[in-house]
């Protein structure tokens, strides 16, 4: 009786092992062999995609991508070996030191191009977000944005972008995307603001460090220059603020005019092709307006937004909102 039980137990374990192997085989056959084929590349800005490359010859591919890209998706027709795309630490995805997709452009090694230097982290998503059976690897700039008016090249490593069986990808190993020229947006409003107002300048891509902007920006009330400084935005890499230096803030009860010169750089040193203008109105306070030296303004230099002087004392014309460059 004991011998029969031992044989029965052995047979049970054998059948269980065979069932596990059979189940494993079925799982493997659920993923077909074959090299992953690159279907398309989508350039995203805050979740809004633009098709910049496609396997389909008649696809509506955009000639340029917005320079302020926040994510670039490389869509494949099947699962990739995710361990070759990203690492995992404590069950969380971590970018590899040597990722299978790298980013470059002319002059990228020039230290003056960006501060801090550009870093593009690469990750993998196995969900079919772009169609049944698809997966995708994606590049995400650590600080959002790419250089303006630049040819950005993505180099793909077929040995890092493989099927789960190690078969290398099908598709180009280098894809170049041209980015849009730099533009900036300045506020133009007749609504009054406080004398401590922080005036925003919004770039179409990553903004540079504040000090690099000052030679290209002029702030004035009428003919009188107004001292200012530039502060970065910790929540938005594409925005900086002009802030008053004077203790009492901006001149009160005045129109503050802002003009930005051609050549203003983005965060990678790429220049603005056309100047931009903006203005804002400050509220009335108890004290007199202050001038560029933080003392009272001469009455003839004050421009509260009226056009009585025919615009001769204005840094900007009265229709600055129509001339504002985006």
pLDDT at residue 316 above 60? no
Q: Concatenated DSSP letters for 25-89?
A: HHHHHHS--S--BEEEEEEEETTEEEEEEESSTTS---SSB-TT--EEEEEESS---HHHHEEEE
Mean of all residue pLDDT scores within the chain: 84
pLDDT at residue 228 above 70? yes
Domain stops at, among 153, 178, 203: 178
What DSSP state is assigned to residue 216?
A: G
For residue 2, being part of any structural domain is answered with no
Which are the contacts of 163, defined by CB distance < 8 A and separation ≥ 6? 31, 33, 34, 35, 36, 78, 79, 80, 81
Q: Are residues 262 and 242 in the same domain?
A: yes
Q: Are residues 174 and 204 in the same domain?
A: no
Q: Are residues 203 and 163 in the same domain?
A: no
> Domain containing 318: what range?
184-323
Residue with tokens 């000090």: 211
For residue 216, being part of any structural domain is answered with yes
pLDDT of residue 137: 98
pLDDT at residue 116 above 90? no
For residue 1, being part of any structural domain is answered with no
3-state helix, strand, coil in the chain (%, to 5): 15, 35, 50
Question: Rounded to an integer, what distance in angstroms lies between the CA atom of residue 100 and that of residue 90?
Answer: 22
Count of domains observed in the chain:
2
Domain stops at, among 139, 160, 178: 178
Question: Rounded to an integer, what distance in angstroms lies between the CA atom of residue 154 and that of residue 234?
Answer: 28
3-state DSSP assignment of residue 219:
strand
Q: Are residues 77 and 168 in the same domain?
A: yes
Q: Which of 148-162, 266-280, 305-319 has the lowest mean pLDDT?
A: 305-319
Per-residue model confidence as pLDDT tens digits over 152-180: 999 999 999 999 999 999 999 999 999 99
For residue 19, being part of any structural domain is answered with no
Q: Are residues 233 and 219 in the same domain?
A: yes
Q: What does the pLDDT average to over 135-142?
A: 98
Q: Which of 104-108, 275-279, 303-307 has the lowest mean pLDDT?
A: 303-307
For residue 135, being part of any structural domain is answered with yes
Does 317 or 105 have the greater pLDDT score? Answer: 105
For residue 302, being part of any structural domain is answered with yes
Q: Are residues 164 and 189 in the same domain?
A: no
For residue 22, being part of any structural domain is answered with no
Domain stops at, among 178, 207, 230: 178
104-125 burial string, b = 16+ CB within 10 Å, else e? bbeebeeeebbeeebebebbbb
Per-residue model confidence as pLDDT tens digits over 102-115: 999 998 887 555 67
Predicted TM-score of the model (pTM): 0.79
């Amino acid at each position: 009786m004991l011998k029969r039980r031992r044989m029965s137990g052995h047979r049970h374990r054998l059948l269980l092992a065979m069932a596990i192997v059979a189940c494993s085989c079925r799982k493997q056959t659920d993923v077909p062999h074959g090299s992953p084929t690159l279907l398309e590349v989508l350039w995203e800005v805050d979740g809004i995609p633009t098709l910049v490359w496609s396997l389909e010859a008649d696809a509506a591919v955009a000639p340029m991508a917005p320079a302020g890209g926040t994510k670039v998706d490389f869509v494949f027709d099947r699962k990739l070996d995710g361990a070759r795309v990203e690492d995992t630490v404590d069950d969380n995805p971590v970018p590899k030191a040597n990722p299978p997709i790298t980013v470059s452009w002319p002059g990228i090694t020039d230290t003056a191009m960006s501060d801090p230097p550009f870093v593009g982290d690469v990750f993998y998503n196995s969900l079919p977000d772009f169609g049944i059976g698809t997966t995708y690897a994606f590049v995400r700039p650590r600080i959002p944005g790419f250089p303006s008016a630049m040819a950005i090249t993505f180099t793909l490593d077929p040995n890092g972008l493989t099927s789960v069986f190690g078969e290398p990808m099908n598709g180009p190993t280098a894809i170049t995307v041209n980015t849009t020229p730099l533009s900036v947006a300045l506020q133009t409003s007749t609504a009054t603001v406080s004398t401590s107002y922080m005036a925003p300048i919004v770039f179409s891509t990553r903004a540079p460090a504040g000090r690099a902007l000052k030679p290209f920006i002029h702030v004035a009330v009428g003919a009188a220059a107004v001292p200012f400084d530039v502060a970065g935005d910790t929540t938005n890499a594409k925005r900086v603020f002009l802030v008053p230096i004077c203790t009492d803030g901006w001149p009160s009860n005045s129109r503050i005019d802002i003009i930005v010169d051609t050549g203003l750089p983005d965060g990678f040193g790429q220049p603005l092709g056309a100047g931009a203008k903006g203005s804002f109105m400050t509220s009335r306070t108890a004290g007199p307006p202050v001038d560029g030296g933080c003392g009272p303004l001469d009455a003839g230099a004050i421009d509260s937004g009226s056009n009585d002087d025919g615009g001769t004392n204005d840094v900007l014309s009265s229709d600055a909102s129509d001339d504002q460059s985006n």
